[in-house]
Chain A
């Protein structure tokens, strides 16, 4: 079964705008990761945030984690057409090696 739920399911913005995607999960986690997938191909790892971290940055990406609310957000600043893809959050728990993915947010960035 899937652990996380991304919100919104789909998001359409103009190039240059910021995109925010949210992820909620159900059980305690060890790490939370965000992945990008272009047109049904393999997933590309974007960023990992540990359960004891609250915020992390990588280039134009900013991830926050609120373990009390069991939620995370991914912010992409100054979006580009090339950011058009599906974005997934995935969690792994302590002593549990399988990763649980949500259904993803489909982001469309219009030039």
Chain B
């Protein structure tokens, strides 16, 4: 049973560029959440997708957008990159059936903005 996978593992971009990160959820999961983790900090919630729609959003600007596909995989897009966007981006999947809300995390994508 494959867990949550993310690609790419590492990415280097320059200021002003755009980036797309990808996530495949754990088998049987239909909900995908994205988090940003700056060095030495805890993950910060970006947004969550369910049934191909953004269900909830954290305190992130519109430069951060996403998409969920019919197979439940998801993309995170960041436009007009800033130096402060350098972070580990984590994807987590879950299936809130039964009311138990446990998220399973992927290994993350390390984004460096120069």
Q: List residues of A whose CB falls within 8 A of some B CB.
A: 1-2, 4, 30-31, 33, 35, 40-45, 48, 88, 92, 96-104
Contacts and interface: CB of A to CB of B under 8 A. Distances in A.
A88 B42 CA distance: 7
A111 B66 CA distance: 44
Interface residues of B, number: 31
Interface of B: 4, 31, 33, 35, 37, 39-45, 48, 55-56, 58-59, 88, 90, 92, 96, 100-108, 110
A101 B41 CA distance: 9
Contacts, number: 65
B101 A31 contact: yes
Nearest to A1: B59
Interface residues of chain A: helix, strand, loop or mixed (majority): loop
Given A31-B101, A103-B41, A42 B90 contact: yes
